Structure 1
Amino acid sequence: MSLQYLPAVKPSAIALGTVFNHTFELGVLSPLFGKTWQKAKSANTKEEFLKSREASSAAAAWGSALVGSALQSYGVGALINATGTLSYKGAAYLGALIFAATSAPGFISQLVVEHRAFDQVGLNVLAKLFETVGLSVFLSWWGTRTIPFGSGGTPLSRNSFRAE
């Protein structure tokens, strides 16, 4: 598989989007890290703690959340570029569509089928809204294109339509 077919997204947008997204993801994972912190305080030695199940599960959760945040940042940036989204309003709509397609069905199922507490689901909904709508608006503000519109190098630039 060749990577040349993947849409280009500014590396700084992916990095900052990863930090933005990972911040909210850690809010959701904080109960896991709280348990891990308690285990670390009660351990006799560092080695004992590092060999514990809590340490390995916290490291796996943190690492997978970080990779997931980076992939989500790239995906949202690629969608912003592919759709030609230039405004904050358009970015918010795009983020809302991403939320509706990926997260909303799960939250409805948690409320209706699993009968989870509304405040628990509401907190997760808020975190996912920041991760989708917030990330889209943030990346739109930062910029995701490697070659900006109007620079003469893109097919959509004003110079490409000028008769020479």
Structure 2
Amino acid sequence: MTSYHLAYMPPVKPSAIALGTVFTHASNLAVLTPIFGETYRRAQRADTKEEFLKSREAASAAALYGSTLVGSGIQTYAVAAVLNHCGVLSYKGAAYVGGLIFAATALPQIISQAFQERRPAELLAVKAAVSAVDTIGLAVFLTWWGTNPAQDLLR
């Protein structure tokens, strides 16, 4: 009987994870800016800074920011690992793999929201655009930077 373990997880350059996390986090924050903007306005209206820091809005914004950052790092590693595992070296290949990741992760939810929940088309277009940047854009960006630790030896 063969045992399987985590040794099959491909190594990824730490700098690729760091830069990809910043890339993904920035695209997520572009969508979350209205939420943070409202939180900032509430902070300005609060009587004191301490009063705002104890508020539920501050805790919610901090949790959202932190979870988005952690999620961005995990997503970056996963996309980079898939690129490494597939041996993708071209932008065209990266766009293709990113498109497959987009189709597997974001498209089912967008279709469900369009037909079952009847969400507005504008909202779905924004979600699709952000998801495309998070998958296709991230894959192309990581290919540009390089994801395989062995690539550092070639530079």
Greater alpha carbon shift after TM alignment, 2-11 vs 68-77: 2-11
Within the candidate set 4, 20, 34, 2:37 is matched to: 34
Query: Which ranges of structure 2 fall in alignment gaps of 5 or more residues?
Result: none
Find out whether 1:23 has 2:23 as its counterpart.
no
Cα deviation per residue 1:64-89 (whole Å; 9 max; x = unaligned)? 00000000111111001000001100
- Correspondence for 1:92: 95
C-alpha distance in 1, partners of 2:45/2:36?
Answer: 14
| Structure whose alpha-carbon radius of gyration is higher | 1
Query: Which ranges of structure 1 fall in alignment gaps of 5 or more residues?
Result: 152-164
- Correspondence for 1:111: 114
- Correspondence for 1:9: 12
Greater alpha carbon shift after TM alignment, 29-38 vs 72-81: 29-38
C-alpha distance in 2, partners of 1:121/1:50?
Answer: 33
C-alpha distance in 2, partners of 1:100/1:3?
Answer: 26
Asked if the contact 1:35–1:54 (Cα under 8 Å) also holds between the matched residues in 2, the reply is no
C-alpha distance in 2, partners of 1:128/1:27?
Answer: 12
Asked if the contact 1:8–1:145 (Cα under 8 Å) also holds between the matched residues in 2, the reply is yes
- Number of equivalences: 150
- Correspondence for 2:56: 53
In the alignment, residue 140 of structure 1 is paired with which amino acid? T
Deviation at 1:34, TM superposition (A): 1.7
- Where relative contact order (Cα < 8 A, 6+ residues apart) is larger, the structure is 2
In the alignment, residue 84 of structure 1 is paired with which amino acid? G
Q: Share of identical aligned residues, percent?
A: 55
C-alpha distance in 1, partners of 2:36/2:47?
Answer: 19
- Correspondence for 1:147: 150
SS in 2 for 1:39: helix
In the alignment, residue 66 of structure 2 is paired with which amino acid? G
CA RMSD across the alignment: 1.7
Cα deviation per residue 1:8-62 (whole Å; 9 max; x = unaligned)? 1000000000010001101121222122111101101111000111110100000
In the alignment, residue 40 of structure 2 is paired with which amino acid? W
Greater alpha carbon shift after TM alignment, 140-149 vs 120-129: 140-149
Within the candidate set 75, 81, 85, 1:82 is matched to: 85
For normalisation by structure 2, the TM-score amounts to 0.92
Deviation at 1:127, TM superposition (A): 0.7
Asked if the contact 1:20–1:135 (Cα under 8 Å) also holds between the matched residues in 2, the reply is yes
